[in-house]
Structure 1
Amino acid sequence: MFTPQGPTLRELAVQALSSVEHGYDLLAPKFDQTPFRTPDAILAPVTRALRALGPYRTGLDLCCGTGAGLGVLWEVCAERAVGVDFSAGMLDVARRGEPTASYVRADALALPFGPVFDLVVSFGAFGHFLPRQQAELFAQVHQVLRPGGQFVFPMPAPARPGSRGYWAMLGFDAVMRVRNALWRPPFVMYYRVFRFGDVRRELDRAGFDLELRSLPELGERPDGSPRCALVVATRRDAG
């Protein structure tokens, strides 16, 4: 549909009528040929920002998919890069792309790690979590970070009301809500549920200090605000 090598419309429809896990298993072989993969235009400025924030020894890519973020971790982590995802198909593709990383199949809401990471990153996965799940998600990230460790992710500015992007996301979310009301199993993917005010509140409750950093390479909106910011959430010391 997107490129000759990408998924067809029929394949995307089958995926959308599956569970999230099975849907991504089906999409995995062609995922990197879709716009859903985090583009290098975002990965590169995040990498530059992390170099300035580091150094780090160990890093985790949360909901790593086909491994786009693993390359970022290898650029900034001296010892170990780990990808975690609940789709076996996505992990198989990631292993072929970044064979030197480690991979674990697990639910992001039940991470099988202790406090062993200096850095956790995530790219484009938060629409798969409902607002009521954010507290548990951030608590899981908190528990796998060492004290002083950082949870870092890019967060685009919200689409302006009335803009083409605003109506596209509103329409997509509406379609998904109708689909999930009529069809089982549900496929959770909403573009408008991850709002900065809620995220800031839940990160604070989970035990993080929050900082926003601009990513100037991604440009500015007409009012001068950044099109995308980097959320840097640092785990507070227990004391």
Structure 2
Amino acid sequence: MFSPHGPSLRELCVQALSSVERGYDLLAPKFDHTPFRTPQSILDATVEALSTLGPFDRGLDVCCGTGAGMRVLGALCHGQITGVDFSTGMLARARDQHPEASWVRADARALPFDEDFDLVVTFGALGHFLPAERPALFDGMYRALRPGGLLAFPIGAPPSPLSVSHWAALGFDLAMRVRNTVWRPPFVMYYRTTPLVAVRDDLTVAGFTVRAVPLTALGRRRDGSPGFQLVLARKPIDEP
């Protein structure tokens, strides 16, 4: 799963016993050599799905990490692109790789933006927020968008209960719950706390008009349903 340039088992253990912020600061120099980085196939499929929904001027990647999402924003946005993350280490890596972008260090649950962007994206970050924290996250994204702006992010279909992936995700989440019960500071990262139905409900409460489109380029499951969908949450032009 990891390239020879990725973190060692010891480094992963140290990260897992740290806070989320400190853990990602430690992992940042080798993050791009881990399976945690958003695959290029997902980024490409997102660009393809969004290419007919613009034009977009300014774009924001929330929980940008080392900046993989900048490739999406750079392909779609004509104006300034910005990444926001609370890990200093991840932002330093992102800045080195994408000097054309601007960077902001902030907690995603308290985003410091007010109608600054036409497009907001996020990749692989929702598992870092407990269900009770999602309203603050989505409220901040809503505020960050101009009227008519779009929030977009891919979300995977839950794996079949008969699959190895299902049991691996279940085991990981259980291990993290035990870890966070007995160890402080907590490290919040769960794979099974962001079902599409719950996420759609939270986005609707935040004020978005929500739909999801299949990312067919990423394949389908055995029952014919898409393996990934792109959530499209639009901020109304005329707010209530």
TM-score when normalising by structure 1: 0.98
Verify the 8 A CA contact 2:113 2:140 in the aligned structure 1.
no
Q: For each residue in 1:172-191, what CA deviation from the matched residue of structure 2 results, as whole angstroms up to 9, or x when unmatched?
A: 00000000001000000000
Q: Which runs of 4+ in 1 moved over 4 A?
A: none
> CA shift at 1:238, angstroms?
1.0
Verify the 8 A CA contact 2:147 2:239 in the aligned structure 1.
yes
- Counterpart of 2:155? 155
Letter in 2 for 1:152: A
- Counterpart of 1:188? 188
Alignment of 1:192-207 (within 5 A): 192-207=192-207
Residues of 2 paired with 1:107 and 1:162: CA distance?
37
Secondary structure at the counterpart of residue 30 of structure 1: helix
> CA shift at 1:165, angstroms?
0.6
Alignment of 1:45-84 (within 5 A): 45-84=45-84
Residue 209 of structure 1 pairs with residue 223 of structure 2: no
- Counterpart of 1:170? 170
Verify the 8 A CA contact 1:208 1:235 in the aligned structure 2.
yes
Q: For each residue in 1:175-230, what CA deviation from the matched residue of structure 2 results, as whole angstroms up to 9, or x when unmatched?
A: 00000001000000000001111111111110001111111110111111100011
- Counterpart of 2:127? 127
Secondary structure at the counterpart of residue 104 of structure 1: strand
- Counterpart of 2:105? 105
Percentage of matched positions with identical amino acids:
59
Secondary structure at the counterpart of residue 94 of structure 1: helix
Q: Which moved more, 1:219-228 or 1:83-92?
A: 219-228
Residues of 2 paired with 1:79 and 1:54: CA distance?
12
Structure 2: stretches of 5+ with no match in the other structure: none
- Counterpart of 1:44? 44
Verify the 8 A CA contact 1:71 1:98 in the aligned structure 2.
no
Residues of 2 paired with 1:224 and 1:55: CA distance?
32
- Counterpart of 1:144? 144
> CA shift at 1:162, angstroms?
2.7
Secondary structure at the counterpart of residue 155 of structure 2: strand
- Counterpart of 1:235? 235
Residues of 2 paired with 1:238 and 1:35: CA distance?
40
Secondary structure at the counterpart of residue 61 of structure 1: strand
Q: Which moved more, 1:1-10 or 1:113-122?
A: 1-10
Alignment of 1:87-98 (within 5 A): 87-98=87-98
* Residue-pair matches, total: 239
Residues of 1 paired with 2:128 and 2:189: CA distance?
5
Residues of 2 paired with 1:189 and 1:181: CA distance?
14
Alignment of 1:25-40 (within 5 A): 25-40=25-40
Residues of 2 paired with 1:216 and 1:78: CA distance?
26
Letter in 2 for 1:238: E
Q: What's the RMSD between the two structures over aligned residues?
A: 0.8
Structure 1: stretches of 5+ with no match in the other structure: none
Verify the 8 A CA contact 1:120 1:145 in the aligned structure 2.
yes
Residues of 1 paired with 2:135 and 2:210: CA distance?
15
- Counterpart of 2:221? 221
Residues of 1 paired with 2:213 and 2:201: CA distance?
18
Verify the 8 A CA contact 1:209 1:233 in the aligned structure 2.
yes
